[in-house]
Amino acid sequence: MKKTFISIIASAFILVSCSIHQDNYSKRTVSVSGTGAVTLEADNATIILSVITKGKEVSETTEENARKMTAVQEAIIKSGIQKDCISTQNFSVYQESHYDQKSGRQIPDDYRVTNQIKILVKKIDKVSEVIDLALKSGANQLSSLNYGVSDTEIAKKQARTLAISQAQEAANLLAGASGARLGRVLSISEHADYAYPRTKMLKASLANGDSAFAEEAVSTPVSGGSSTVTITVDAVYQLR
């Protein structure tokens, strides 16, 4: 008898649980999305450039590279860029080689030393000047130039407000069209996207004395353009 009683209670509990789940699932809801976008002018730039040297002796090649990079950094600092805005991205030393078909072996060539730095320029109007100074002082590879915005918090709040307002407006419209009234928010999620302006990647190397590229790089006007902060919200409202 005890076993039968326990079995009946368990069955009743299962039926109640299913009923509660069914009631929650059957609530009328409406799912909507809203998007808000705020445009900002870029106010900083990040430049990545390198000093590349080649030579037969590793110590002499490394010393030459150090002298040139020191000159590059000193010129940049004198232009008004703070020292803590300059950081080393990569430093490498390796010996190049080529394959000799006659001997069937790799033949050692010159040593190649690369010192790559990242420069944060907090004033857009100084970007051209910094690039010009760096190339004239010994930098011979300009890898990339990226623009950004230092403070996006206000823009994110504005975009979020616009997105929520748009979602609520859509929910009200759908509820009214279906003869219902809009109830409380059951869930809401957010997705952010930050589209920053960016120049093309510059992989041309000046290691072989390509002065034409240097002239083109410093004579071409650079413009930061604008950045867009976009917030999208997905919301589920209860219908009454």
Q: Global pTM? A: 0.67
When pLDDT is cut at 50, 70 and 90, the band that residue 199 belongs to is: low
Q: Is there a domain that residue 98 lies in?
A: yes
Q: If you ran DSSP here, which 8-state letter would residue 14 be given?
A: H
pLDDT band at 27 (very low <50, low <70, confident <90, very high): confident
Calpha distance 220→126 (Å, rounded) = 13
Phi, psi torsion values for 180, nearest 5 degrees: -115, 175
Q: Is residue 59 part of a domain?
A: yes
Q: Kindly state whether residue 168 falls inside one of the protein's structural domains.
A: no
- List, for residues 4-22, the tens digit of each pLDDT value: 333 333 333 333 332 223 3
User: What's the CA gap between 28 and 20, in Å, rounded?
Assistant: 15
DSSP 78: H
Pairwise pLDDT comparison (2 vs 147), residue with the higher score: 147
What CA–CA distance (Å, rounded) separates 164 from 170?
10
- Phi/psi of residue 24, nearest 5 degrees: -65, -40
Measured between its terminal Cα atoms, the distance across the chain in Å is 47
Instruction: Tally the domains of the chain.
Output: 1
CATH number at residue 62: 3.30.70.2970
Report the pLDDT value the prediction gives residue 100, as an integer from 0 to 100.
Answer: 86
Q: Contact at 8 Å (CB) between 202 and 131?
A: no
Q: Is residue 105 part of a domain?
A: yes
- Structural domain for 143, as ranges: 43-149+199-222
Tell whether 171 is covered by a domain.
Answer: no
User: Is 161 contained in some domain?
Assistant: no
In a domain, 36, yes or no: no
pLDDT digits (tens, 9 = 90+) for 166-182: 999 999 999 999 999 99
Residue 94 forms part of a structural domain: yes
Residues near 239 by beta carbon (within 8 Å), at least 6 away in sequence = 28, 29, 30, 175, 178, 180, 181, 182, 183
